Structure 1
Amino acid sequence: MRLQNKVIIVTGSCTGIGKAIAERCVAEGAQVIIHGLEKELGEEVVERLGSCNATLHIEDLTSPGASQRLVNLALEVFGRLDAIVNNAAWVISSNIHTTDEAFLRRVLEINTIAPFALIKAALPHLSQVRGCVLNIGSVNAYSGEPNLMAYSVSKGALMTLTRNLGDTLHRENGVRVNQINPGWVLTENEAQRKHEQGLPEDWYTEIPSVFAPAGRILWPSEMAAAAVYWLADESGPISGQVVDLEQHPFIGRNPPKDTSTIPNSVREESK
């Protein structure tokens, strides 16, 4: 039980990677705050985990005071707070032609500013227990797909936040801050997006090798397994680190000799 007696807030945990992380945390002995916007799905997660292990909070993280309310809930229900996982994000297609200033600000508010606000709200309590923060980024942080511009920018900013706070908060407060950057993960939302783009129900069973040398993309449970290390005491004093969880080098990888057979809907949002 690598997370025995720890209390962890996992944002965006009604579905996908966040849900998998919350489930794995409970399996490792933790109690969790489930958060998201999908009330029915969140209730299903809590029911599965048990009310003694999980509590649900439904709210837009950009609402004034939302971060403090999440922190307060953890303290009221479980009596302490050991870690936060900033997983909630808006994955939305855009490029320079379809992005205006208001849209870019909204993406940054959800994907970058909300995680910052939750870290700030949680810091007094994390400092008491020498707790930790795990930010969930994306390999798109390095430059991103052409049609994921605003999302990629927000994840690049989150990565810089992790590096910055991973140094300062560790020295000043004893709080570790690290990040994992998932590659292409088969979440419920990703499966639905690709189906809506016209791909067949089983599109993920035949992914071009340039995107999935292993023959498949990643599972949410594999992201959760990696998250546990950074949330557990076994990661020791390590802070300010960003780890890419992908099956090939994202920067500098060899391009395919012929991309004509790769559907645009696969190429455009491959992460």
Structure 2
Amino acid sequence: MRLDQKVIIITGSCTGIGKGIAKRCVAEGARVVIHGLEPELGQELVQELGPDNAVLHIEDLATEGVAERLVALAVQTFGRLDAVVNNAAIVASSNLKTTDLAFFRRMLEVNTLAPFALIKAALPQLQQNRGCVLNIGSVNGWSGEPDLLAYSVSKGALMTLTRNLGDTLAREAGVRVNQINPGWVLTENEARRKHEQGLAADWYKDISPVFAPAGRILWPAEIAAAAIYWLADESGPVSGQIVDLEQYPLIGRNPPKN
């Protein structure tokens, strides 16, 4: 097993990509701290994974001291901490006209500052076990869509955090920090958001090849499969890297003509 006996905190893991990563981590031999804001869904996942393999913490990441509580729960429950997956994020539409400072601050607090706080709180344990951090960003972090202003900025800042700490912590503490940037993923929340925006309930079954050359968008399990490499020892000394997980190139692409 690629993650045998490793203990991993995965934020935002009651649903979506985080849930997929948690399930794959346990399948690879890890024990996980499940985190999110949906207690019933979290409990269901813990039962599915097995109480010996998973423990649940429900709390808003913007709350003071949550990072320290997550680390303490991992150590108290499983005796160690080997990795952190900063997956939780607010995904919400906004542009220059609709973005006020309160909204922007909330977005940065959860999507950028919370990952920083958790890395900082976990560092003593990660250094002791020569562990690692995996940040889950977004391809929108490179510039973003017109109506994803605040979200895109928060993910762009996360990329800079990853590159900076991936360099410094690898040299100073033996802790690797990397990031994967998923493209369009069919999570429960994404399916609901698009339906609420006026699309049909089964909108994901008929997507333009401009956006999905493969005829479908990505699945959480596919992001989870990629995450395992970065959490496993097989990724060796690689640190400070950003990897886009999308089905077409972001630079130099020639979209098909309709």
Tell me how far 1:200 sits from its aligned partner.
Answer: 1.2
Give me the whole-angstrom Cα distance separating, in 2, the residues matched to 1:197 and 1:60. Answer: 25
Q: What is the aligned partner in structure 2 of residue 185 from structure 1?
A: 185
Partner of 2:193: helix, strand, or coil? helix
Give 3-state SS (helix, strand or coil) of 1:133's partner. strand
Deviation string, structure 1 residues 47-71 (Cα, Å, up to 9, x no partner): 1001000000000011000000000
Instruction: Give, in whole Å, the separation in 2 of the partners of 1:27 and 1:208.
Output: 34
In structure 1, the partner of 2:37 is 37
Shift, 1:251, TM fit: 2.9
* Pairwise CA distance, 1:100: 1.1
SS at match of 2:144: coil
1:42 and 1:51 mapped to 2: Cα distance?
12
Q: What's 1:56 paired with?
A: 56
Which letter does structure 1 place at the counterpart of 2:101?
E
Shift of residue 256, structure 1, vs aligned partner: 4.9
Q: How does 1:77-226 map to 2 (within 5 A)?
A: 77-226=77-226
Secondary structure of 1:218's partner?
coil
One-letter code aligned to 1:5: Q
Question: 1 CA distance for matches of 2:215 and 2:255?
Answer: 17
| Cα distance between partner residues in 2 of 1:257 and 1:186 | 25
Moved more, 189-198 or 22-31: 189-198
Letter in 2 for 1:200: A
Aligned-partner Cα distance in 2 for 1:10–1:2:
17
Amino acid at match of 2:87: N
Whole-angstrom distance in 2 between the partners of 1:189 and 1:117? 25
Q: Aligned with 1:140: secondary structure?
A: helix
| Identity score, percent | 77
Partner SS, residue 32 of structure 1: strand
Q: What is the distance in 2 between the residues matched to 1:188 and 1:69?
A: 27
Between the aligned partners of 1:257 and 1:153, the Cα distance in structure 2 is 30
Which residues of structure 2 form unaligned runs of 5+?
Answer: none
Q: C-alpha distance in 1, partners of 2:78/2:196?
A: 40
Rounded to whole Å, the distance in 1 between the matches of 2:17 and 2:123 is 24
Q: Which amino acid aligns with 1:199?
A: L
After TM superposition, the score normalised by the length of structure 2 is: 0.99
In 2: Cα distance, 1:7 partner to 1:91 partner = 27
1:170-223 CA-partner distances (Å, limit 9, x unpaired): 000000000000000000000011111121121111110011111110000000
Structure 2 distance, partners of 1:123, 1:60, is: 21
C-alpha distance in 1, partners of 2:106/2:15?
A: 21
Gaps of 5+ in 1: 259-271
Q: Distance between the aligned counterparts of 2:36 and 2:108, measured in 1?
A: 18
Amino acid paired to 1:15: T
Matched with 1:263 is none
Matched position secondary structure for 1:109: helix
Between the aligned partners of 1:245 and 1:161, the Cα distance in structure 2 is 19
How many pairs were matched up?
Answer: 258
- Taking the aligned partners of 2:3 and 2:37, their CA distance within structure 1 comes to 26
Task: Give the residue type in structure 2 aligned to 1:250.
Answer: L
The 3-state SS of whatever aligns with 1:226 is helix
Kindly state the Cα deviation for residue 25 of structure 1 after the two structures are TM-superposed.
0.2
Runs of 4+ deviating beyond 4 Å: none
What's the offset of the Cα at 1:138?
0.1
Matched letter for residue 54 of structure 1: A
1:41 maps to a residue whose letter is L
TM-score (norm 1): 0.94
3-state SS of 1:178 partner? strand
